[in-house]
Structure 1
Amino acid sequence: MNELEYKNFYDRVGKTNGWDFSKVRCISEGVNWNFYNEVSQRCKKSDILLDIGTGGGEALLSIAEFALILVGIDNSAGMIEAANVNLKLSGKSNVRILQMDADKIDFPKNFFNVVSCRHSPFCSKEVANVLVNGGIFLTQQVCEEDKLNIKQAFGRGQSFSNQDGTLKNRYISELNEAGFVDIQSFEFDAREYYKTYEDLVFLLKHTPIISNFGKVENDFTVLKKFIEENQTSKGIMTNSKRFMIIAKK
Structure 2
Amino acid sequence: METFVQNLLKESEKSFSGWDFNYISETGRMDNEPLSWSYTSIILSYLSTSNALLDMGTGGGEYLSLLSPLPSKTIATEGYKPNVPIAKQRLEPLGIDVFEVTDDENLPFADESFDLIINRHESYSPNEVYRILKNNGVFITQQVGGKDLIDLNFALGASEDTEFAHWNLSYAKKQLEDAHFTVRKSHEEFPYSRFYDIGALVYYLKAIPWQIEDFSVKRYENSLLKLHEKIKRNGYIQFDSHRFFLSCIKKQG
Question: How would you bin the TM-score normalised by the shorter chain?
Answer: 0.7 to 0.9
Identity %: 24
Which residue number in structure 2 is paired with residue 125 of structure 1?
Answer: 127
Tell me whether 1:68 sits opposite 2:69 in the alignment.
Answer: no
Q: Is the 8 A contact 1:145 1:160 kept in 2?
A: no
Alignment counterpart, residue 54 of structure 1, candidates 54, 58, 73: 58
Q: Aligned Cα RMSD in Å?
A: 2.5
Instruction: Name segments (4+ residues, structure 1) moved above 4 Å.
Output: 162-165, 230-234
Distance 1:18 1:166 in 2: 25
Change over 3 Å in CA distance of 1:163–1:53 after alignment to 2: closer
Q: Deviations over 1:39-89 (max 9, x none)?
A: 22222254211111111111111114243322110122211111112226x
In structure 1, how many angstroms separate the alpha carbons of the residues matched to 2:233 and 2:105? 43
The 8 Å contact of residues 196 and 237 in structure 2, kept in 1 or not, is answered as yes
**Cross-structure match for 1:85:** 89
Task: State whether residues 40 and 66 of structure 1, in contact with CA within 8 Å, keep that contact through their aligned partners in structure 2.
Answer: no
Contact persistence 1:136–1:247 (CA under 8 A): yes
Q: In the aligned structure 1, how far is the partner of 2:233 from the partner of 2:143?
A: 27
What TM-score, normalized to structure 1?
Answer: 0.81
- Higher Rg: 2
**Does the residue aligned with 1:153 lie in a helix, a strand or coil?**
helix
Bigger mean CA offset, 137-146 vs 26-35:
26-35
Q: 1:103 aligns with which of 80, 102, 105?
A: 105
The answer as to whether partners of 1:150 and 1:226 remain within 8 angstroms in 2 is: no
Residue of structure 2 equivalent to 1:236 = 237
Q: Are positions 1:21 and 2:21 aligned together?
A: yes
Amino acid at match of 1:137: F
**1:180 lines up with 2:184 in the alignment:** no
What letter matches 2:80 in structure 1? Answer: S
Give the alignment of 1:144-155 within 5 angstroms.
144-155=146-157
Where structure 1 has 5 or more consecutive residues not aligned to the other structure, the ranges are 1-14
Shift of 1:136: 0.7
Closer/same/farther in 2, CA of residues 82 and 232 from structure 1, 3 Å limit: farther
The Cα shift of 1:234 comes to 5.4
Corresponding residue for residue 8 of structure 1: none
**Distance of 1:186 and 1:166 partners within structure 2:** 14
Number of aligned residues: 230
Following superposition, the deviation at residue 161 of structure 1 comes to: 2.5
| Bigger mean CA deviation after superposition, 118-127 or 146-155 | 146-155
How far residue 16 of structure 1 moved from its aligned partner, in angstroms, is 4.0
Matched, 1:138 2:140: yes
**Alignment-derived partner of residue 8 in structure 2:** none
Cα displacement (A) at 1:108: 1.4
SS of equivalent to 1:23 = helix
- Residue 206 of structure 1 corresponds to 207
CA distance, structure 2, for counterparts of residue 114 and residue 29 of structure 1: 28
Q: Is the 8 A contact 1:154 1:222 kept in 2?
A: yes
Structure 2, unmatched stretches of 5+, are 1-14
CA contact (8 A) 1:231 1:237 kept: no
Distance 1:189 1:168 in 2: 12
How has the CA–CA distance of structure 1 residues 195 and 104 changed in structure 2, closer, same or farther, with 3 Å as cutoff?
same
Output the CA distance in 2 between the equivalents of 1:151 and 1:72.
32
Structure 2 CA distance for aligned equivalents of residues 74 and 201 of structure 1: 25
Q: 1:246: which partner in 2? A: 247
